[in-house]
Amino acid sequence: MTLLLSLAILATFKLATAVSNLTVETSSGPVTGLINGTTPNVAQFLGIPYAEPPVGERRWLPSIAKSHVDYVDATKFGLGCPQFEGAAGSVWQIDSPEFITPANTTGENCLSVNIWAPWKQDDEELLPVIAWIYGGGFQTGAGNIEYQIPSRWIQRSQKHIVVGINYRLNIFGFPNAQDLQDDEQNLGLLDQRLGLEWIRNNIANFGGDPARINMWGQSAGAMSVDYYNFAYPEDPIVSGLMLDSGSALLPSSSSDIAQTNFTFVANHFGCDNSTASEIDCMRNVSSTDIISFLKSYGDAGTSPALSFNPIVDNRTKFANYTARALAGNFTKKPAIAGTATMEGQPFLPYNRTYGPSVTAANAVTLNTFLCPAVKTTQNRFAVGVPTYRYLYGGNFSNISPQWWEGAYHSSELPLIFGTSGIARGASTPFEIQLSMQMQDYWLAFATDPVDGLQKLGWNAYTPDGDAILLGYEGTTAQPIKESALEAPCEGATARPGATPPP
């Protein structure tokens, strides 16, 4: 949508105020956003650069703050960071592509934030802020994923601001290259920190409260949030944490101890014959060519597989999170932490007729998601830090169209973002009711991480207490014993033969 059309939509408002408020001064420069006809009470500022482009000599270096420019067009999404989808089908690719980064919207100049704020005519109290960190296994994800655009939620609430942070992925975000220092390897995690610093420094100009910035992530995004929780205890910026289907205890680490994967890719592009260093040689290879090679190599099933994930650098990621938690070496901020009843469904070979092996899917649900969340919660409780536990069990045909999918990994997100009805039919009345309930919970926490949820009847974790079961068998929210969530688990792993609750 052009800026001219955006302003035309505002004709029913006080035009002078509208024009003034759609141009906001930031450390990156004055940004001009838009309001569209779908959510006319939401101001959107899209694709604002928070860092200098990570290209050329700055590829594979920690991001640095964007210098001030004269004008930023914030009326359209910026690029998602370079990534690819594998050729093997999945639940997300086949049944719910609204979870996937749209095709042809990625590129290397991708370090931007997207802001959605209520459109206000009068000065009001500064609003709580939710900083969104997308998931995707540290391989995929972006700010323009259809199911993860919060404008409908802001349109309904008018009481908070959401800011999405783009960060580098796969080989560009987590190179594990021999020519880099250990504290330069987890570039995607460093991007997230710089994005939060940008939010802290600028969000008041958008009506947001820099003292109430809450960090929310799902899957790899939730892992990122918890990594951050341990990395910045002295200057956390954030006041609360939201961990959807992920934590620092989720089993995920680089197996490339010898740092051979980056070298393998570099050698493919002739960097073993170059007079330049490996990393400098690779900086002259186009990001499109690198991604194309990684995709073709992965799609061919060639062994050994190449992987680029966060490594232990003892700066942004540590080796022993339980020990650090029990020693109190983290932010000690309140958290929401939860999982879904059937997390494992999308991670196994796709079979439209029969679905995945139930036993294998249950093992993923327990070992990868539920039990790490249980242990994370117990660790936090041991040092007196409140955690609000949930289990999501909603099952809606416009999100889970196959009979075997149920409440799979990521399926709760459209309910929170308010996007559940954008594809495959309108949301049911119960789906809408559940969506509003979940939105209200997340907003209550963002507004007051200490007491907000308790005012809605959701109490912090105690071993003999109740968590919240969301959307299960036609009930919006009901109690479920914490002991029921913990029964399948021995520490962060599943007991032999255990099955997921409820």
Domain boundaries, the chain: 1-319, 345-502
Are 417 and 148 in contact by the 8 Å Cβ rule? The answer is: yes
Q: pTM, whole model, 2 decimals?
A: 0.94
Query: Which amino acid, 372?
Result: P
pLDDT on residue 275: 83
CA triple 385-443-78, angle to 5 deg: 105
pLDDT on residue 123: 60
How far out from the chain centre does Cα 116 lie? 16
> DSSP 3-state assignment of 271?
helix
Give the strand pairing for 72-73 and 31-32: parallel
pLDDT on residue 409: 98
Phi then psi dihedrals of residue 181, to 5 deg: -70, 160
Residues labelled catalytic: 219, 343, 409
List, for residues 269-313, the tens digit of each pLDDT value: 999 988 889 999 999 999 999 999 999 999 999 888 999 999 999
Query: Which amino acid, 265?
Result: V
Write out residues in the chain with pLDDT < 70, as ranges.
1-20, 121-123
> DSSP 3-state assignment of 72?
strand
Architecture of domain 1-319: 3-Layer(aba) Sandwich (3.40)
> DSSP 3-state assignment of 97?
helix
The CB-side HSE value for 221 (13 A sphere, CA atoms) comes to 27
What gap in Å lies between CA 264 and CA 227, rounded to an integer? 28
Give the strand pairing for 208-218 and 127-133: parallel
- What is the number of other CB atoms lying within 10 angstroms of the CB of residue 457? 10
What gap in Å lies between CA 178 and CA 260, rounded to an integer? 8
* Structure-block tokens of residue 239: 């006041």
pLDDT on residue 5: 34
pLDDT on residue 2: 38
Are 163 and 131 in contact by the 8 Å Cβ rule? The answer is: yes
Give the strand pairing for 161-165 and 72-73: unpaired
pLDDT on residue 12: 30
DSSP state of 94: I
pLDDT on residue 21: 78
